[in-house]
Amino acid sequence: MSLVQKWVIIQANSFMEITKIPAKILAKKTEKISIKAIKNGSYKELVLDMKKAMIDNVGIGLAANQIDKDLSIFIIDKNLALENAVPEVYFNPEITEYSKNVDEIEEGCLSIPEYGANIKRSKKIKIKAIDENGNKIKLKARGFLARVLQHETDHLNGLVIKDRFNESR
């Protein structure tokens, strides 16, 4: 199964409940986290819980507000991170640059079961964030990785794919 197929297939059996639309937490910008709190390990257990919830729900990424946490954290699939030599965990991410070249691919979302929509996204981005050790990071991403990072960053900014689909029509 490809990562794209895995991302679109959604299952609802998990020990940690995935927050679904129209929950208000999905429509608001999440709270930033202090580097000190990251460095002292305050979020390690939450990150482990998020990884488990993402795997249990066959996701390729998961934002904290998708498990009802008003925190600026998202995670991505371990294999996707390894294939692209990037971190799995992103605190306070901010996309700093979007390429003008876009493509349109069907996306799914754990917070909107059984819904898929063709979403236009930049093929390349630059993103800055804090990794799970409290280090500031900057990286470039392209292709599927760029798409996943944009999708998860959207969540932390209060946007879901239905918002993106509606704005592109």
Catalytic member of 88, 107, 132, 152: 152
Per-residue model confidence (pLDDT) at position 67? 97
pTM of the model: 0.89
- Lookup result for tokens 């917070």: 111
**Does the annotation mark 88 as catalytic?**
no
> Residue 3's pLDDT band (boundaries 50, 70, 90)?
low
Q: How far is the C-alpha of 124 from the C-alpha of 26, rounded, in Å?
A: 25
Instruction: Tell me the average pLDDT across 89-105.
Output: 97
What pLDDT score was predicted for residue 164?
81
Looking at every residue in the chain, the average pLDDT score rounds to: 91
CATH architecture of 3-167: Alpha-Beta Complex (3.90)
| Contacts by 124-128, CB closer than 8 A, 24 or more apart | 124/98, 124/99, 125/95, 125/97, 125/98, 125/99, 125/149, 125/150, 126/95, 126/96, 126/97, 127/90, 127/93, 127/94, 127/95, 127/96, 127/153, 128/93, 128/94, 128/96
DSSP 93-157: EEEEEE-S-EEEEEEE-TTSTT-EEEEEEESEEEEEEE-TTS-EEEEEEEHHHHHHHHHHHHHHT
- The closest alpha carbon to 162, from 105, 98, 95, 111, belongs to 111
Report residue 14's pLDDT band, with 50, 70 and 90 as the boundaries.
very low
